Structure 1
Amino acid sequence: MSKNIRALAARCLYAVVDQGRSLSQELPKQQALVESGKDKGLLQEFCYGVLRYLPELEHHVRQFVKKPLTGKQRVFHFLMIVGIYQIKYTRIPDHAAVAETVAATAILKNRHLKGMVNAVLRNFQRLDSTELDDSVAEPVRFNHPGWLIKKLKAGYPEQWQNILTENLQRPPMWLRVNQQKTDVEQYLTLLEDVDIAVKYIAPVSNAILLEQAVDVTKLPNFADGWVSIQDGAAQAAAPLLSARSDDNILDCCAAPGGKTCHILELTPDIKAMTAIDVEPERLVRVEENLARLGLTANVIAGDAANPIDWFDGELFDRILLDAPCSGTGVIRKNPDIKWLRKASDIDNLVVLQQQILAAIWQLLKPGGTMIYATCSILPEENTMQVSRFVEQNADATLATIDMGQDAKDWQILPGQDSMDGFYYAKLLKKS
């Protein structure tokens, strides 16, 4: 098969948007068909970019295609979108974008649509302006589904537009230094030696924000486990948990294992670390991360809502519950979330979170600490969820979080200090 990057992007986007498949699963399949690292990067740029601006790009297609493509022709809808994305949002010369996108029609085995694809792209080129005015519907203007805009307006009446804008940005690159291999100051020197610029050091977690993203192979001693890639917000979990020597710790819903590893890096002399996740295939990443960093944990495939299947009876001193959630705080790095999630999913996730909270709470020792975390920004998954839990459990209290602020819980919004959207609450179990 020819390696026309536009054709591969159209197929990937069709699988994600129309068939509901995850970008993290589909993109690697298409990238495996090309050899050049540059082409792999370009393919990723097309797919991520289109998913960020999907409603806007579809709006432009509808300006020229009055009858939507269906069935086997549907992939050509996404091919035209890929073409328009290149013209509007990349530095690729228009003539090259049009030519390569039109050439992809042969690869996708429908040459008779060549004329339509060519006409749409050339007509788009001729537009005096591609800017959207206020008369365009909000989902198109803000490039988010209507249900999510409605929820953000309700939860953040003063900030919702800023959240939507931040969600369209490219995610920055944060590093976590492995304290068992080196320290932050030494690693900053190594970065300076290879001309990798640092923008910011988080004051509590010592997370390192780079000026711009780099390939991990360029990071000093990455393969030897000196450093990991982890967002600044996620790096707050381990300091908040405050593990101590001889603690028995559970990381619940642990895959891909970044927080498990961070806890072990900060407190290597804990009694035991158990990491569970309901999806066995995702635990492969946990094992890989532990191995690269030279760390050890008891990794178990298990359902957090049904501990009876895996719990050995020894209660935990501290539990990190990174609960399944909508992922609405990490849309910058996972733009497919906007199109894979539905409003009804949120109600189902809230119920699942309640079930897991109730089940895992029983595994915590009296006097123990649980950190409840999500990568969501929706109040029903976060503040409302925790408030309900505390009201329903007389042995649970909500502790103040000391992360540069005095608050009962901590909602980080997308882009705040360059971090992902994230939520933390610290629950203490009465003795």
Structure 2
Amino acid sequence: MRFHRNLVEGVAEVLERIFNSGIYADKALEQQFRKNRQWGSRDRGFVAETVYEIVRWKRLYAEVGEITPPFKKKDYYRYFAVWVLLNDQVLPNWPEFKGLKKEAVLSRYKPLKKVRKYRESVPDWLDSLGEAGLGSELWTRELAALNEQAPVILRANRLLISPETLQEKLKEEGIGTDLVPGYPDALQLQQRGNVFRTDSFKEGFFEVQDAASQTVAPFLEVVPGMRVIDACAGAGGKTLHLAALMKNKGQLIALDIYPQKLQELKKRAKRAKAFNIETRLITDAKVVKRLKGSADRVLIDAPCTGLGVLRRNPDAKWKLESSFLERVCETQQELLANYSALVKKGGLLVYATCSILPSENTRQVEAFLKSPQGKCFRLVEERSLYASVDGFDGFYTARLERVD
């Protein structure tokens, strides 16, 4: 492979924003692409994939390359060099790589790959936490799966099109896809590409949504005509799926505390022709209290550590801190206590996270059911999805019925 200096420089600049400035990888890449509009799709693809690989293996590469913070510009070139050598490529004869020998890199790599926290490139505290929660065997398998590149999955918008028809339309636009067995609305890209430029996307025929995430909305068992509340709607990926399952009939209320996310949801809903969605910004407790006991279904897609989606957001494991888990668990329990009051008798509450930790999942539901607010609910079903088992993101969902 021939490496172009301007692209390698771009990789180094993006890594500086991620590692030193704390910017998330996707935002750092967006900034770099705006700065270099002359780059074609191949150039952008090289920079993005290289950055994500280095971010994913940050700890391992640092150990192999003897890189220690605080990072300087030369360290980002050294990260790149380790990536090149471990991928069995030849380093360019540039001054930045002077003195780096493949033999030395491989000799340091061989003993490290026998130790899980180095091999899978995770902080010590996270490795200990995962093993304590899932057991050594499952945690080891799951870490390996979460370090693989995630497939790109589309969800066909059944308000407008079937997955089979969407597959044909995308084929006409040069995008090859496969139906995903067991996931009725899902199509998987055969090759990565910018699907947002297609006419099919502009016409609202699909959204990009992982197959595991696509299991959450059906778990609510909605039917047309219901009143459904998405309590933590965000930009609305699951809200839009619920609208399709409701066939645009009934009332779908999307709540959130962030106005910009609800604005994005409105744009997406307009494109998807989802007309039964009503957004409500939570400005005070009254917004929620007015809905008390009124909903047939409530979804709490709770904020979490996001450990189930590390394949997509590998920089999250370097931004997470052990203290965050305690804080987010408190938030999750508060959400369960507050939003469960919106469910009418006989209605269903679904609690979901994109985490794989029992402390954010089964234990939260157990604690809620023992609380004063949870005593009128019963657990109907819970489900845990793992990347190492199911091949997609890690997710947890629990369905609870209000019985009193």
TM-score after normalising by structure 2: 0.89
Partner of 1:237: 216
**Shift in Å, 1:285:** 2.7
Structure 2 match to 1:78: 76
The offset of 1:329, in angstroms, is 0.1
1:49 equivalent in structure 2: 53
Please give the residue correspondences for 1:31-430 in structure 2 after superposition, counting only pairs within 5 Å: 31-35=33-37, 36=39, 37-62=41-66, 68=68, 70=70, 74-89=72-87, 94-96=90-92, 99=94, 102=95, 117-120=96-99, 122-124=100-102, 127=105, 129=107, 131-133=109-111, 138-157=116-135, 158-193=137-172, 196-203=175-182, 205-217=184-196, 221-296=200-275, 297-302=277-282, 307-309=285-287, 312-313=290-291, 315-392=294-371, 393-399=374-380, 408-430=381-403
The Cα shift of 1:301 comes to 2.9
Q: How far apart are the structure 2 equivalents of 1:259 and 1:420?
A: 15
Partner deviation per Cα, 1:266-302 (whole Å, 9 max, x = no partner):
2124321111222222333322221221223222332
Indicate conservation of the 8 Å contact 1:3/1:33, yes or no. Answer: no
Partner of 1:107: none
Could you tell me whether the CA contact under 8 Å between 1:202 and 1:208 is conserved in 2? Answer: no
CA 1:9–1:276 in 2, change beyond 3 Å: closer, same or farther? farther
Q: In terms of mean alpha carbon deviation, does 413-422 or 320-329 score higher?
A: 413-422
Would you say the 8 A contact 1:34–1:40 is kept in 2? no
- 1:22 alignment partner, one of 17, 21, 24: 24
* CA positional deviation for 1:61: 2.0
Give the stretch that moved more between structures: 276-285 or 178-187: 276-285
3-state secondary structure, aligned to 1:360? helix
The code of the aligned residue for 1:367 comes to G
CA 1:376 to 1:69, structure 2 compared with 1: closer, same or farther past 3 Å?
Answer: closer
Displacement of 1:346 in angstroms is: 0.6
The verdict on how the C-alpha distance between 1:240 and 1:307 changes in structure 2, with shifts beyond 3 A counting, is: farther
Worse-superposed segment, 81-90 or 142-151: 81-90
- In structure 1, runs of 5+ residues without a counterpart are 103-116, 400-407
Question: What letter corresponds to residue 87 of structure 1 in structure 2?
Answer: L
Q: TM-score, normalised by structure 1?
A: 0.83
How big is the alpha-carbon RMSD for the aligned residues of Structure 1 and Structure 2? 2.6
Q: 1:232-278 deviations in whole A, cap 9, x for unaligned?
A: 01111121112122211111221221111111112124321111222
State how many pairs are aligned.
394
Q: C-alpha separation between the residues in 1 aligned to 2:290 and 2:249?
A: 18
Q: CA deviation at 1:389?
A: 0.8
C-alpha separation in 1, matches of 2:345 and 2:19: 47
Change (3 A) 1:269 1:197: closer
The 8 Å contact of residues 233 and 254 in structure 2, kept in 1 or not, is answered as yes
- Supply the distance in 1 between the matched residues of 2:105 and 2:329 (Cα, whole angstroms): 45
Runs of 4+ in 1 over 3 A off after TM superposition: 124-131, 134-138, 188-200, 217-220, 309-314
Please give the alpha-carbon distance, in whole angstroms, between the structure 2 residues aligned to 1:196 and 1:216.
8
CA contact (8 A) 1:248 1:270 kept: no
Q: CA deviation at 1:156?
A: 2.0
Counterpart residue type for residue 153 of structure 1: E
CA distance in 1, matches of 2:178, 2:27: 31
Identity of aligned residues (%): 26
Distance 1:366 1:75 in 2: 60
Rounded to whole Å, the distance in 2 between the matches of 1:128 and 1:416 is 31
User: Per-residue displacement from partner, 1:96-138 (whole Å, max 9, x unpaired)?
Assistant: 4x53xx5xxxxxxxxxxxxxx3225x32476565643258754
